[in-house]
């Protein structure tokens, strides 16, 4: 086998998978598929353990268009990112795509644990509930923050504000929450060297694409993986334990592709693999205009990323847990983006079915004809007459501001990031199209629900009321009803597609992330999340992965 040449300091623990003899079998104790955040975290935990580890990575150490094309697929639901750009298929995984400027020339990622309510079964959130509460993950959140070097572990806002950057004096229904930021190079450089140069019990294979999971005859245990190289050889990897750490789209894809022994795919006896695809809903949601200039000037905690005790942080707004329970709302947070605003920002055009029907009806009448489906348009207009009045009012305000040349306003645009309700119709499936390895590509059908948008509107109403009550200004709400906000997109957060549940009728993996019915196949990553909260999944991904690593070490020590 040929060693991949990187630099003279390499300890020769990386192998070019294209040099493995055809149909050869690599034998190991633990096989990790994927060298992203979860895969690297597992490898670090297994370093120097008394068992052998094989780490399989599809790509190289740098981006390759040819390898990346294996991620291509169809998008048939709400418009989503191009799938061959929605995740990174080379060492470091999606960490390579973290792109937040955290100062001093460093690039990073937002970090925050899920809230306690996110783990609960909530009557207002269908299919909610984790097999355990947040307390189970607390020690692993502590370790995850050490992993990302963002200690101390506290997220109490009192520990991160100071006289120069105070919290907004809100009275409880709305609260300030803290996000920290981790450094991208930990996973793209520092930890890569630890795993590939200094962990003598770990052998990393690059250019190694897993195409199938093979099981024994009773289909109760995985026996080996089929690995293929682009334009080259195929070989096998056998192990005692297999862990898929390939993300929320590729993990269900690989299970569905492994269908020679089980027609529906591995772990898919209940048609759950690939379902419940969740994202965090990102969009512009309104404008906050402070009651005076001093509030705007002293909002440094919210205006941008800044360091406190050498840790990059930022403050955002969220509803309190008591309000979420009482109002039966989804969890969400809002970032305040400082901007110099014109009146058009405060009074944007209303988007709703009634407005669309009104415009269609008016255009047709001006053209001297009746619109197609005119009865449906009239029904839409009559159902929401307030939207017509509201839109007319906003139009007049915009036109008057242009006539009288109103001054600019110092305020904040609201960048919203909201939880998505688990939806079984929002899913990853296989397409009839095939990639360069002859494997079925992915078909993504992302389906946010009306409840997601209604929850956002009510959240804005509560925040507006609290700002006014505290004398801090007002919020100009730009959303209306169960309609997708303009520019709605995701955050590359692929969750839920191999969801966790103790009951195999309701989940793909159990509380230990083991695929139901297969004794030695585990899944690491946000695809096991039953719900996603509003926090970026990265920190919870790391915490769950550390918990899984401890569990696997216990198995290997038995």
For domain 2-67+89-98+184-269+495-557, give the fold: FAD/NAD(P)-binding domain (3.50.50)
Residue 236 in tokens: 């096998």
Quote the tokens at residue 551: 């569990």
Instruction: Return the domain boundaries, the chain.
Output: 2-67+89-98+184-269+495-557, 281-422+449-477
65 burial (CB, 10 Å; 0-12 / 13-18 / 19+) is exposed
Q: Which two tokens stand for residue 266?
A: 């591995």
Query: What does the alpha-carbon distance between residue 34 and residue 40 come to, in Å, rounded to a whole number?
Result: 8
Kindly calculate the radius of gyration of the chain based on its CA atoms and give it in whole angstroms: 25
Q: Rounded distance, CA 550 to CA 558, Å?
A: 12
- Look up tokens 């390898």; give the residue: 67
- Whether this prediction's pTM lies above 0.95 is answered by no
Cα angle 202, 248, 176; round to 5: 105
State in Å, rounded, how far the first CA of the chain is from the last one: 32
What's residue 483's pLDDT?
83
Residue from 338, 351, 350 nearest 287 by CA:
338
DSSP one-letter code for 489: B
Q: How far apart are CA 336 and CA 316, in angstroms?
A: 7
Q: Is the peptide bond before 152 cis (omega within 30 degrees of 0)?
A: yes
Q: In degrees rounded to 5, what are phi and psi of residue 416?
A: -95, 140
How far apart, in whole angstroms, are the C-alpha atoms of residue 186 and residue 74?
33
The residues that bridge with 213 in the sheet, in sequence order, are: 225
Q: Helix 538-557 vs helix 134-148: angle between axes, to the nearest 10 degrees? A: 100
Q: Give pLDDT, residue 482.
A: 84
> ∠ at Cα 53 (52, 59), nearest 5°?
150
DSSP 111-130: E-PPPGGGGS--TTSTT---
pLDDT for 349 equals 55
Element (H, E) at 543: helix 538-557
Residue 361: the pLDDT is 54
Residue 239: which H helix or E strand, with range? none
| Residue 165 to residues 141, 362, 450, Cα–Cα distance (Å) | 26, 51, 37
pLDDT of residue 9: 45
List, in order, residues 6 or more apart from 48 with CB less than 8 Å away: 199, 200, 201
The confidence score (pLDDT) of residue 355 equals 59
Give pLDDT, residue 495. Answer: 98
Tokens of 505: 């009728």
442-274-333 Cα angle (round to 5): 100
Question: What b-and-e string marks burial along 248-263, b requiring 16 or more CB atoms within 10 Å of the CB?
Answer: bbbbbbbbbbbbeeee
- What is the DSSP track for 85-107? GSS--STTGGGGG--EEEETTEE
H helices of 263-319, in order, are 293-297, 300-303
Backbone angles phi, psi at 141, to 5 degrees: -65, -40
Low-confidence ranges of the chain (pLDDT < 70): 1-12, 342-407
pLDDT of residue 504: 97
Q: Which of 411, 352, 402 is nearest to 382 (CA)?
A: 352
pLDDT of residue 4: 47
pLDDT of residue 11: 47
CA distances to 138, 234, 376, 510 from 326, in Å: 26, 57, 36, 31
3-state SS, 408-430, equals CEEEEEEEEEECCCCCCCCEEEE
Neighbour count for residue 66 (Cβ, 10 Å): 11
Residues 314 and 421: their CA atoms lie apart, in Å, by 26
Strand boundaries in 81-173, DSSP class E? 100-103, 106-111
């Amino acid at each position: 086998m040929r060693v991949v040449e990187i630099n003279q300091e390499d300890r020769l623990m990386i192998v070019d998978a294209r040099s493995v003899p055809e149909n050869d079998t690599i034998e190991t104790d633990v096989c990790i598929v994927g060298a992203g955040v979860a895969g690297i975290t597992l490898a670090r935990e297994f370093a120097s353990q008394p068992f052998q580890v094989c780490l399989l990575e599809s790509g190289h150490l740098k981006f390759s268009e040819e390898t990346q094309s294996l991620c291509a697929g169809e998008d048939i639901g709400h418009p989503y990112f191009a799938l061959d750009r929605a995740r990174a298929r080379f060492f470091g995984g999606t960490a390579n795509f973290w792109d937040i400027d955290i100062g001093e020339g460093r690039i990073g990622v937002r970090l925050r644990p899920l809230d306690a309510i996110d783990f609960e079964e909530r009557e207002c959130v269908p299919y909610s509930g984790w097999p355990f509460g947040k307390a189970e993950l607390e020690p692993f959140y502590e370790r995850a923050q050490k992993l990302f070097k963002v200690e101390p572990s506290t997220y109490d806002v009192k520990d991160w504000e100071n006289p120069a950057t105070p919290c907004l004096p809100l009275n409880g229904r709305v609260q300030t929450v803290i996000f920290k930021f981790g450094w991208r190079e930990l996973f793209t450089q520092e930890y890569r060297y630890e795993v590939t140069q200094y962990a003598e019990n770990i052998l990393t294979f690059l250019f190694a694409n897993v195409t199938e999971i093979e099981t024994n005859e009773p289909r109760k245990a995985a026996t080996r993986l089929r690995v293929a190289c682009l334009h080259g050889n195929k070989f096998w990897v056998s192990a005692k334990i297999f862990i898929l750490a390939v993300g929320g789209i590729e993990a269900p894809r690989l299970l569905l592709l492994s269908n020679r022994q089980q027609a529906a795919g591995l772990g898919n006896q209940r048609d759950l693999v690939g379902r419940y695809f969740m994202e965090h809903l990102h969009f512009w949601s309104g404008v906050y205009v402070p009651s005076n200039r001093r509030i705007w000037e002293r909002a440094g905690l919210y205006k941008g990323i800044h360091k406190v005790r050498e840790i990059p942080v930022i403050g955002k707004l969220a509803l309190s847990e008591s309000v979420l329970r009482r109002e039966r709302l989804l969890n969400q947070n809002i970032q305040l983006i400082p901007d110099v605003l014109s009146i058009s920002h405060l009074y944007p055009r209303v988007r709703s079915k009634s407005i669309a029907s009104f415009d269609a009806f008016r255009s047709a009448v001006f053209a001297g004809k009746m619109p197609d489906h005119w009865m449906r348009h009239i029904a839409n207009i009559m159902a929401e007459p307030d939207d017509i009045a509201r839109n007319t009012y906003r139009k007049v305000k915009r036109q008057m501001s242009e006539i009288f040349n109103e001054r600019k306003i110092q305020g904040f645009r609201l960048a919203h990031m909201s939880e998505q309700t688990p939806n079984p119709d929002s899913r990853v499936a296989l397409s009839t199209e095939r990639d360069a390895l002859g494997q079925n590509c992915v078909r993504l059908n992302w389906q946010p629900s009306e409840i997601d948008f209604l929850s956002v509107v009510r959240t804005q109403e509560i925040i507006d009321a609290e700002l006014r009550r505290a004398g801090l200004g007002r919020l100009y709400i730009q959303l209306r009803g169960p309609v997708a906000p303009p520019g709605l997109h995701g955050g590359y957060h692929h969750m839920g597609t191999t969801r966790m549940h103790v009951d195999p009728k309701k989940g793909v993996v159990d509380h230990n992330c083991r695929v139901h019915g297969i004794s030695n196949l585990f899944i690491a990553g946000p695809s096991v999340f039953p719900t996603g909260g509003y926090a970026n999944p990265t920190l919870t991904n790391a915490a769950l992965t550390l918990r899984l690593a401890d569990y696997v070490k216990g198995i290997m020590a038995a």
